[in-house]
Every structure is written in structure tokens, then in C-alpha cells.
Amino acid sequence: MSLAERRVLLGVSGGIAAYKSCELVRRLREGGAEVRVVMTEAATHFVSPTTFQALSGQSVRVSLWDAQAEAAMGHIELARWAERILVAPASAGLLARLAQGMADDLLTTLCLASPAPLFLAPAMNQQMWAHPAVQANVSTLRQRGTQLLGPAAGAQACGDIGSGRMLEAHELRDALLASFAVGALAGLNVLVSAGPTYEDIDPVRFIGNRSSGRMGFAVAQAAAEAGARVTLVAGPVSLPTPPGVMQRTDVRSAAQMHAAVLAAAAQADIYIAAAAVGDYRPLEVSAQKLKKQGGSGLLLQLGENPDILASLSAQERHPFLVGFAAETHDVAGYAQDKLQRKGLDMIAANRVGEGLGFEAADNALSLYWAGGAVELPRAGKTALARQLITHVAERYRAGRA
């Protein structure tokens, strides 16, 4: 996979992270891409167009009203030239203008005028990123198929710590690279569920589990890298959306996850159920905080949650179903039993405990399907997720052949 002769239009909007985009131009060009930079007026207050001109080897455009530049390559021509548009950094203001469909400067005009897939790498103060207005714009853009890359969490230029940092140059380059890949899952819609579920007892207490969501998020990322359009349904986790994931729905309880998965499953070719769904929920959720019972103990009555996978496999038309099974013992026996009982196409089983599984960075999986099995030995969750995706793609294609 390479960026050789790929035509990337890099939009730079006004934010301090613009300095990282200089490095990004270098990385893209090292990969063989042709890069043309378009800056907003605000961006020029952070980095000079001359810097981008020197790095890209092309003249940099800022204004829609630059007669000389228009004569050399008109903006519509530039919009058609681009195979990908990446805006990095994408400021809160730019997200708002794009969400509104405004064409009030060259960059926003190009975003509207180009058929190329649009990638945005937001960068802003964590308070701004968390603002409901910004999140509403992000969700509008995502719904239109715009791909959001990041932001990451960490220390910010303003001294704050939180979510809003622009992804690093190499991460953005990798996301673009992946978008050009004709991957094993190219053209397929993949739905992934990840993380735990929380079942409320009262306004402050809940029944949860120790799933971190990292395996499921790694699976979502690996599926996106393999060319799939990925929808992620996430339980309560504090993880950023992996690069390339098209849509994310956050849920809390098993019932909410059930509804979100069922709604998305109609469009999915493959559903990978990596979430640790709570099997039971309190039958009554107290509207007020429960008080101590004065020594008499507390009896919670639990009801069973619907099994999401089983309810999908019961449908006449359903996606290729991949389940997960976390077991402490007799992994093979329990996993194969679940494969049959839930009507799955494949199951990925892991042993929990001994530094593996839920809260660990590493994992190991045993995959089973009707008539076959393969062991994926202990590795980091990202590497393991990529191997899992390779096998899922193989089984999916074998099933359709």
C-alpha cells in the first residue's frame, strides 16, 4: 500500500495545531503523494503560506478571489483534482461552517465542490470540543459520511488536559493510506459493538463489568483499515473513536445497545459483537437514591436482558454474525457451544485472567466456525484485531462463494 501519485488536498484552518500540518505535508510527500495546500485566512496567522509552499512544492491558496491563481488552476478544477480532502487542523469554526454547508471562503467552497471523500482532524480546546454545539456539528458531518480523525486526548497547547488534540502527522497519514487501500472488507458495512453495559439500580449506582472496550475499538479500527464502512455501538467507555470509523453511537444499558444494534444491523453485512453485555438488569430502577436498610440487607431482583446476537440470528435475513466469548475455563467447549446455541457464523473466544482479557493490553483468541478453528496467539489488541478481521473476511467471502 502506498500514497504514490495520490492527490491530496490539505486544508489548514486556524489553530495552533497548524504547525503539526507542516510535518504532515512532509510525511505525505515522503509516501509519494502530491499535496496541494489550501489555508483559511485565520490559518495564515499561525503558519506562513511560504512554509507550506516550500514543503509541498506547490503554490498555496488562501483566497477565492486570487485572479492569478484561478487562471493557473481554477477552484473547480482543484476540487476535481483532489482524490482526498483532509482538513487538519479543523477548528470549531470550520466544523460549524462545514456543517452548515457554507461556502464563504476557498476551503469551504472546495469541500462542497469536490466529490472526494472528506476527512477532518479536529483540534481545539477540550472545553470547546465537548460543547454541545460542536458535538452537534460533528454528528451532522458524520451522518453525511465525513470521516472524523480524532481528536486525541492529552496535554493541550493552552495548558488544559483533555480531548481535543489533533492526531499526530503519522496517524493522519496512516488514515489516508488506509482510505486508499482495497482491503479485505472493501465495500462492506461492518457493525461492531464494544465495551460494557451499565444497568442502573438507582441514580448513582449500577451493575457493570470490567470490559474496557479496547478490544472492540481495535476491531472497529482494523475493519476500517480493511476498507469497511464501520458503525460502532459503544457502551460506557472513555475511548476516542478510532480513525476511519464512520459512525459511533454511545449507549449505556443492554436494552439501549440492543436497540442501537438492531437499528444498524439492517444495513450491516457483518456484525461483530465484542461488547460485554450485562446478562441481567434490576427489575426496578429506583428514582431516588436507595438508603441503607438498617442491617436487614438488600435484595435486588434481576431480570434477564435480551440476547442481542441470538435475536439477530433468529431473523430470517441477518448479517454474518461474529460473537465473542470470555471464559475462565474450558474455553473450547463453552465457545463451540455458544457458536451453536446463538446461531453464529464465527466465535472468538478468549481466556480471561492471567494478564489476559478485559483490562489487559494483550489478548489471545481462539476462533471457531462450523468445521474449522484457528489459534491467534498472545499479541497486542491492535495486532490481534487485524488478524481477526483477516479471518472474518475470509469466512465471510467463503460463505458467499
> From CA 390, how far away is CA 225, in angstroms rounded?
11
Q: Which is nearer to ligand CTP, 224 or 277 (CB)?
A: 277
Contacts of 281 (CB under 8 A, 6+ apart): 199, 207, 253, 254, 255, 302, 303, 305
CB of 307 to ligand CTP, least distance (A): 4
Are the C-beta atoms of residues 111 and 147 closer than 8 Å to each other? no
Residue window 247-276: x/- pattern of binding to ligand CTP, with contact defined by CB under 6 A:
-------x------------------x-x-
CB 176 within 8 A of CB 119: yes
Using the rule CB under 6 A, is 234 a contact of ligand CTP?
A: no
Catalytic residues: 158
Say if residue 151 is preceded by a cis peptide, omega within 30 of 0. yes
Euclidean distance between CA atoms 58 and 288, whole angstroms: 64
The minimum distance between CB 323 and ligand CTP, in angstroms, equals 4
For residue 298, count CB atoms less than 10 angstroms from its CB and return exposed for 0-12, middle for 13-18, buried for 19 or more. Answer: exposed
Contact pattern from residue 290 through residue 309 relative to ligand CTP, giving x for each residue in contact according to CB under 6 A and a dash for the rest: ---------------x-xxx
Smallest gap from Cβ 234 to ligand CTP, in A, equals: 12
How would you classify the pairing of strands 320-327 and 270-273? parallel
Interface segment toward ligand CTP; rule CB under 6 A; list 7-15, 105-113, 162-170, 320-328 = 320-328
Of 14 and 216, nearer to ligand CTP (C-beta) is 216
Q: Least distance from C-beta 91 to ligand CTP, angstroms?
A: 38
Judge whether 28 and 34 are in contact, CB under 8 Å.
Answer: no
Q: Does 324 bind ligand CTP (CB under 6 A)?
A: yes
User: Which residue in 279, 282, 343, 364 binds ligand CTP (CB under 6 A)?
Assistant: 279
The binding site for ligand CTP (CB under 6 A) comprises 254, 273, 275, 277, 279, 305, 307-309, 323-326, 338
